[in-house]
Chain A
Amino acid sequence: MEVPNQLLEQTRRAIAAEQGWRANLRALPTGVRTLLAAATFGATVGIIGLAMRRADWAAYPTGLMTVSTLLLAGGAVAALALFLRPIHRRAPRAVWLGAVAVAGFGVPALLALLPEAHALVELHPESFAGAGADLVPRALACFLFGAATALPALGLLLLLDRADGRTPARMLMVAALAGLTANLVLLVHCPLVTRSHLLLGHATVPLLFGLLALATFRRAV
């Protein structure tokens, strides 16, 4: 097949335009990009966990904390790996993308629906605040806090992305990752355990990122 002369010149120009810190970030090997992004998301959760740890940390059931962390972190790692998957590898199967998307939106809701940690009633009764008249203000505070803390790592993730176009699957992975990270942050920070608070203040954060992803994608089409 004959190659037009100007195509080489155009391609050279496109490659020459790949300059600057952003180009350097996305040209990093995929392993480094993935580690960098994972470390940033992990650091976000770690810093909040150290500096603003939930008041009932000592009394909170260890098993529930472990299961919640594994589910949320597992989903986040899967979403991260799928989002940063290099283009020289086969595209992931739709079933994997669907499973991670479901986890991104479903796991926070599932955790909110689990039986409340009733052992905390005596050890830390304040954990059962955030209901009744307090429901909306406290849920809104958690919603905004969780969403805001996920943003810096989300920004870095988008800078590490090599793709030019946005596809629904990729945007869903971003939304799932941001939502799961926000829920990890809230898990280590928020001491409230009432189901209504967790549903309204925690499980809705992935929905926000999902709507943002949808809006961004529609604008890109």
Chain B
Amino acid sequence: MAAYVDGEVGAFDQLFGRYAGMVIAFMRKGYVAQADAEDLTQQVFLQLHRARRDFKPGALLRPWLMTIARNVKHDHWRRVLRRPLPQTLLEDPVGRPLAMEDTGELRDVLERAVESLPESMRAVIRAFWFEDRSHTEIAASLGISRGAVKVRAHRAYVRLRQVLSESGGLRNRDTGTDVEDS
């Protein structure tokens, strides 16, 4: 890092080669797709470049870089979670609308709930919800059938609704009672 700060050509490639894989792996944890993880990794190294003169000689680079990665990922999540929630999450199992009692708290709970899903469900939810891709496109990219995508999405929604209702986030708008899964 000291060589990079001093402007040595090639030092960046060494840094990137040594740490990029670790940063991508960190970004992939907790519901971030490969493409987004790569974008975020690029942001991390761009921020490293901008902050390079803040680096104290002799300090450990890895924790320094991972704090940048953590903050970049955190901002990514903030951006994602500001988007409107999908209508499918806002209906009970028979299609009646649900009321959100506390949007901010609900989103925090939702973030944790999504992270708790198995990888197979997270991938489908992420592609359908955050990337606005069709069931057919998701099926092609994951190498599974369209029906399997729907099944995974349904199971994921059921699980998310369960977590959200247990947290008190979702209530039936008509009855005021907690939502129960079908």
Residues of A at the B interface (CB closer than 8 Å) are 1-4, 7-8, 10-12, 14-15, 18, 23, 26-30, 86-91, 162, 164-165, 167, 221
| A2 surroundings in chain B (CB, below 8 A) | 21
Q: Tell me which residues from 58 to 90 in chain B have a Cβ below 8 Å from any Cβ of chain A.
A: 64-65, 67-68, 71-72, 74-75, 78-79, 82
Can you list the 9 inter-chain pairs with the closest CB atoms, starting with the nearest?
A1-B25, A1-B21, A3-B20, A162-B50, A29-B53, A11-B42, A15-B49, A1-B24, A11-B45
From B17, B41, B51, name the one whose CB has the most chain A CB atoms within 10 angstroms.
B51
Question: Which of these, B17, B22, B67, contacts A1 with CB under 8 Å?
Answer: B22
Q: A27-B50, A29-B53, A87-B51 are in contact. Are A8 and B75 (CB under 8 A)?
A: no
Residues of B at the A interface (CB closer than 8 Å) are 12-13, 16-17, 20-22, 24-25, 28, 38, 41-43, 45-47, 49-55, 64-65, 67-68, 71-72, 74-75, 78-79, 82
State in angstroms the CA–CA spacing of A14 and B16 once bound together. Answer: 13
CB distance from A204 to the nearest CB of B (A): 28
Contact indicator A15/B51 (Cβ below 8 Å):
no
Contact indicator B79/A165 (Cβ below 8 Å):
yes
Question: Which of these, A7, A27, A28, contacts B41 with CB under 8 Å?
Answer: A7
From B12, B46, B64, B74, name the one whose CB has the most chain A CB atoms within 10 angstroms.
B46
State in angstroms the CA–CA spacing of A1 and B43 once bound together. Answer: 18
CB distance from A11 to the nearest CB of B (A): 5
Q: Jot down 23 A-B pairs with beta carbons below 8 A, ordered by A.
A: A1-B22, A7-B38, A11-B45, A11-B46, A15-B45, A15-B46, A18-B50, A23-B50, A28-B53, A29-B53, A86-B54, A87-B51, A87-B71, A88-B55, A88-B64, A88-B65, A88-B68, A89-B67, A90-B67, A162-B50, A165-B79, A167-B75, A221-B82
Contact indicator B43/A164 (Cβ below 8 Å):
yes
Contact indicator B42/A7 (Cβ below 8 Å):
yes
